[in-house]
Copies of this chain bind each other. A is one copy, B any other.
């Protein structure tokens, strides 16, 4: 196989510092590089629906929550792993676009409820099939067994990171919001 970008980095390090423990660096470097290269491929589809990636994420989170397609800001920023301040900005923008509305909660006046509008629902349901197709297309280069192994490996890795996060939530962004300690 042709050396990839990470192979070249590892080779450089070995030249400079022979014997350096580069195995973990290589694997996690590939993880990082995959996610950097992958994001614009998603954006290419979202932009066809005049959506950004984060707009899609918020709408999709509300959509899959099921009727009445309504969540609190806290539920949203927790699910999306961003801070509360980020979510405030996002909701303001999405509301101005007419895709969500923010309603007061009679039971608990501290809470707002964020609800998908009909326009928001229509938008996400139009974009979703193409988003799904896009992701499926990306993995077309892998056969069934390779895909299974990839998912299995990432499942194991995610379990590690979720465990670390459960043990020390302060190490994770977003969820470390002052008042949101899981």
List chain A positions with a Cβ less than 8 A from chain B: 1, 4-6, 9, 12-13, 15-17, 20-28, 30-41, 44, 63-66, 81, 128, 132, 135-136, 138-139, 141-142, 146-147, 149-165, 171-173
Contact A154 B12 (CB under 8 A): no
- Given A35-B31, A35-B32, A21 and B155 touching (CB < 8 A)? no
Chain B residues lying within 8 Å of A165, measured Cβ to Cβ, are: 37
Within 8 Å CB of A159, what residues of B? 1, 4, 141
When the two chains form the complex, which single residue of B16, B23, B171 contacts A63, counting CB atoms closer than 8 Å? Answer: B16
- Smallest Cβ-Cβ distance to A81: which chain B residue: B36
Residue among A21, A158, A164 with the most chain B CB within 10 A?
A158
Q: How far is the CA of A17 from the CA of B30 in the complex (A)?
A: 33
In the complex, what residue of chain B is closest to A11 when comparing beta carbons?
Answer: B64
A182 to chain B, nearest CB (A): 11
> Which residue of B has the minimal Cβ distance to A154?
B30
* B172 x A40 contact (CB < 8 A): yes
What are the residues of chain B within 8 A of A135 when measuring CB–CB?
A: 24-25, 28
Contact A138 B160 (CB under 8 A): yes
Does B161 lie within 8 Å of A38, measured CB to CB? yes
Complex alpha-carbon distance, A4 and B152, angstroms:
12
Chain B residues near A30 (CB, 8 Å)? 151, 154-155, 157-158
